[in-house]
Amino acid sequence: MTFGKNLITFNTIVRKEIVRFTRIWPQTLLPSIITMALYFVIFGKFIGSQIGDINNITYMQFIVPGLIMMPVITNSYSNVVSSFFSSKFQRSVEELLVSPTPDYLIILGYICGGVIRGIIVGIGVSITSLLFEPLTIHSPGFVVLYITLTSVLFSLAGFMNAVLAKKFDDISIIPAFVLTPLTYLGGIFYSINLLPPFWKTLSRFNPILYMVNGFRYGLLGISDVNIFFGVGISLFFIAALFLSNLYLLKKGVGLKR
Residues forming contacts to another protein in the complex (CB under 8 A) are: 1-2, 4-6, 8-9, 11-13, 15-16, 19-20, 23, 87, 90-92, 94-102, 251-252, 256-257
Q: Give the shortest CB-5-to-another protein separation in angstroms.
A: 3
Q: Of 53 and 95, which CB lies nearer to another protein in the complex structure?
A: 95
CB of 164 vs another protein, minimal distance in Å = 16
Task: Indicate the residue among 2 and 56 with the shorter CB distance to another protein.
Answer: 2
Nearest C-alpha neighbor of 136 from the set 32, 66, 65 = 65
**Smallest distance from another protein to CB 190, Å:** 41
Q: How far is the CB of 73 from another protein (least distance, A)?
A: 26
Least spacing, CB of residue 170 vs another protein, in Å:
18
Closest CA to 156 of 104, 205, 197, 120: 104
Phi/psi of residue 28, nearest 5 degrees? -105, -40
Question: With contact defined as beta carbons under 8 Å apart, do 19 and 118 qualify?
Answer: no
Q: 23 vs 167, which CB is nearer to another protein? A: 23
Nearest C-alpha neighbor of 23 from the set 91, 79, 85: 79
List the one residue out of 217, 38, 223 whose CA is nearest residue 132: 38
- Compute the CA torsion angle 102, 107, 109, 112 (nearest 10 deg): -150
Least Å distance, CB 6 to another protein, is 7
User: Would you say 143 or 162 has its CB closer to another protein?
Assistant: 162
Q: Of the two residues 88 and 200, which places its CB atom closer to another protein in the complex?
A: 88
Q: Report in angstroms the alpha-carbon separations of 146 from 68, 83, 211.
A: 12, 24, 6
Consecutive H or E run containing 142: helix 140-164
* Main-chain phi, psi angles of 195, to 5 degrees: -85, 155
Provide the minimum distance between the beta carbon of 120 and another protein in the complex, in angstroms, as a whole number.
20
Q: What does DSSP assign to residue 51?
A: S
Cβ–Cβ under 8 Å, residues 33 and 91? no
Please say which residue, 45 or 251, places its beta carbon nearer to another protein. Answer: 251
**Whole-angstrom Cα distance, residue 131 to residue 121?**
16
SS3 category, 216:
helix
Rank residues 12 and 35 by Cβ distance to another protein and give the closer one.
Answer: 12
